[in-house]
Amino acid sequence: MAADGTGPDLDPTARGVHSAEVRDAYDYVIVGAGMAAAKAVRGIRSQDPDGGIGVFGTEPAPPVYRPDLSKTLWVDPKGSVEGCVMVSGEQGSDTAPDEHTCFHLGTTVAALDPAAHTVTLEDGRTVRYGSLLLATGAEPRVGGLEPGERVVYYRTLADYRRLREIARQGAHVVVVGGGYIGSEVAAALALNGVRVTLVVSSEPLLGALFPAGLAATVTHEYRDRGVEIVVGRLAGGSVDAGGVTVRLGDGTELAADAAVVGIGVRPRTGLAEAAGLTVDDGVVVDDHLRTSAPDVYAAGDIARYPDRLLGPRRVEHAAAAETMGTAAGRNMAGADRAYATTPFFWSDLFDHGYEAVGEVDSRLRMVEDWATDAEGRADHSRGSSTTSTTAAPCAACCCGTCGRRSRPRAS
Ligand SMILES: Cc1cc2nc3c(=O)[nH]c(=O)nc-3n(C[C@H](O)[C@H](O)[C@H](O)COP(=O)(O)OP(=O)(O)OC[C@H]3O[C@@H](n4cnc5c(N)ncnc54)[C@H](O)[C@@H]3O)c2cc1C
């Protein structure tokens, strides 16, 4: 594996995805080479077949479909890193970049000047743009333990590679955080013969999201699968050559081969703030995904957009990144179409999965509709629940019977 985590099977330069030479100007510049960016390239191309596109991304790897990093790559024997890549190097494939599209990977944009229509790269070079997309995603909240070889704040392909190296059969991993990433990574590791200790702030697992019966069923499933659940908060810890020690607030120390920390993310809005764009828990955009600066758009985890049904919000999920990326790309190239999608999201936990739209919050009033067993008792592995706020109704569905491991990608 390369030091940057890309691995020999995914050398972006050899695969034709990385362009070394940065031009002075592009018709379109995309900052961040993640999921929204990959889709934005296609959105632009649907309107403009040969405008110059420069995509700048800090990660050395091409854009990957991140849900695969905590699901397919751990549970599907046919899953491969190649299969997660959203931009292929194969000429002739519909995701191959054309001669007018340049992916500059391992390249961070340090500053944006909307008045001059330029970005400045970290090495000081300046690049002009016609229109620009901010798609810098979200960054993990770091607390208690610094990221390192044995402490993984799980987001990237490099993080997946690192965890794979350590988390062999019989290894012990402490997963801190019982939210979205923590619960998925804990299940993926347990399914691969890894001993897992999952540190959660309270029980039942996912109780902040799910109605009590469903949360209890999920918690039971984790214990049945051998996951040790510990209630506590990350207070600190230490790392040495042999492993990691995670220290909790009550003084408990958990020794393991590695720790995965998933205690939330925050939108990466630094560039936008420094450039004077309107930021309010995300970069504020209108229904065309335009920011407060002329010719600057935003999409994906960083964008706070006016949802047609649910009102202003920021969504940290894959379908939102993909559909917003496509819509922003189209508009950057002159389509002038409002973004009218209300994106769904999903998660897979062992054999169970759920799909949801809107607010999933157990503090809201919930209406539940579950299948029943032969004795007429609710079977919390099959059914749906609807939450209601004064603003808008939203729904979550738990489909333990569908058997699908991953959801279809948004178009
Ligand atoms: C492990 C994992 C599993 C997930 N599973 C699901 C799931 O099952 N269902 C679901 O709905 N969602 C899931 N998500 C969430 C989903 O992947 C994200 O919402 C989506 O990736 C957001 O896309 P984005 O383009 O906004 O940001 P990202 O895909 O995170 O891309 C942003 C990119 O911008 C780069 N960048 C940042 N700043 C700069 C800069 N200044 N210059 C250059 N580059 C920069 C970053 O390095 C990063 O590569 C998952 C996320 C993770 C991490």
Atom of ligand 1 lying closest to residue 64 CA: 29
Higher pLDDT pick, 246 / 362: 246
Query: What H or E segment, with its residue span, contains residue 160?
Result: helix 157-166
Atom of ligand 1 lying closest to residue 110 CA: 41
Q: For residues 112-128, give the mean pLDDT.
A: 98
Domain 142-262, CATH number (from 3.50.50.60, 3.40.50.1970, 3.20.20.70, 3.40.50.300): 3.50.50.60
Q: For residues 353-358, give the mean pLDDT.
A: 84
Listed residue (93, 107, 122) closest to 61, CA to CA: 107
Residue nearest to atom 34 of ligand 1 (CA): 32
Residue 398 bridge partners (DSSP): 354, 383
**Domain boundary assignment for the chain:** 8-139+266-332, 142-262, 351-399
Residue 347 bridge partners (DSSP): 354
Interval 301-311: pLDDT, tens: 999 999 999 99
Sheet holding 234-240, edge to edge: 234-240, 243-248, 253-256
- Ligand 1 centroid to Cα of residue 32, in Å, is 9
Contact 20, 66 (CB under 8 A): no
Q: Where are the beta strands (DSSP E) in 141-188?
A: 151-152, 172-176
Whether the per-residue pLDDT at 51 is higher than 90: the answer is: yes
Whole-number pLDDT of residue 373: 79
Listed residue (35, 55, 27) closest to 303, CA to CA: 35
Q: Where are the beta strands (DSSP E) in 241-291?
A: 243-248, 253-256, 258-261, 265-267, 283-284
Pocket test for ligand 1, best of 66, 265, 273 (most atoms within 8 A of CB): 66
Structure tokens at 228: 């040790």
| CATH for the stretch 8-139+266-332 | 3.50.50.60
8-139+266-332 and 142-262, same CATH topology? yes
Query: What H or E segment, with its residue span, contains residue 293?
Result: none
The CA-atom distances, in angstroms, between 225 and each of 141, 190, 192, 200 are 28, 7, 11, 17
Around ligand 1, the residues with Cβ closer than 6 Å are 31-37, 56-59, 66-67, 69-70, 108-109, 135-137, 154-155, 181, 268, 271, 300-301, 316-319, 321, 345-347
Atom of ligand 1 lying closest to residue 315 CA: 19
Query: What H or E segment, with its residue span, contains residue 405?
Result: none
Query: What H or E segment, with its residue span, contains residue 42?
Result: helix 35-47
Interval 273-301: pLDDT, tens: 999 999 999 999 999 999 999 999 999 99
Q: Say if residue 49 is exposed, middle or buried (CB neighbours under 10 Å; 0-12, 13-18, 19+).
A: exposed
Atom of ligand 1 lying closest to residue 300 CA: 26
What's the pTM value of the predicted model, to 2 decimals?
0.91
- Ligand 1 centroid to Cα of residue 214, in Å, is 28
- Ligand 1 centroid to Cα of residue 316, in Å, is 8
